[in-house]
Amino acid sequence: MLLVSRKTLWRVVVGMSIAALGCRFALVLLTTGGWVGAYVLSVARMDILAAGAIVALAVRTPGGLGTVRRYAPTLGVAAIAAISVLAMADASGFNNVNPYIATVGYSLLAVLPDRRSSTG
């Protein structure tokens, strides 16, 4: 039994993801060496926790496991392609110092499917 509705939980986890991304943008754009804060501060990385919550919520809806299994490979390929583009967009490559990786890249890493946890 949930204390709040699924709709409220969806709003909270999506809000967490947006807030973390906004926090990383602010750190990287407005501070010197902001990539360090974007990498180590929990508030800047909470979208990774939210991604796990989103998957948990999706799997526990009717037909959700099949939907997650169906779209996970496509989402993974798209995330890898986007991360590759971001890595090439800056001279530092796939590195925490790259402002694109330190902002959007971390969110993209959070959506990569983990094949080790597959149940099928």
Q: Would you say residue 1 lies in a domain?
A: no
Q: Would you say residue 117 lies in a domain?
A: no
Q: Would you say residue 49 lies in a domain?
A: yes
Structure token pair of residue 76: 């993974």
Domain that holds residue 49: 6-112
Residue 118, pLDDT above cutoff 90:
no
Q: Is 93 helix (H, G, I), strand (E, B) or coil?
A: coil
**pTM of full prediction above 0.95:** no
Q: Which pLDDT band holds residue 85 (cuts at 50, 70, 90)?
A: very high
Structure letter (DSSP) for residue 105: I
Q: Would you say residue 55 lies in a domain?
A: yes
CA 26 – CA 115 distance, rounded (Å): 33
Residue 15, pLDDT above cutoff 90:
yes
CA 48 – CA 66 distance, rounded (Å): 22
Q: What is the pLDDT of residues 24-61, one digit of tens each?
A: 999 998 888 888 888 888 899 898 889 889 888 989 88
* Higher per-residue pLDDT: 111 or 79: 79
Total domains present in the chain: 1
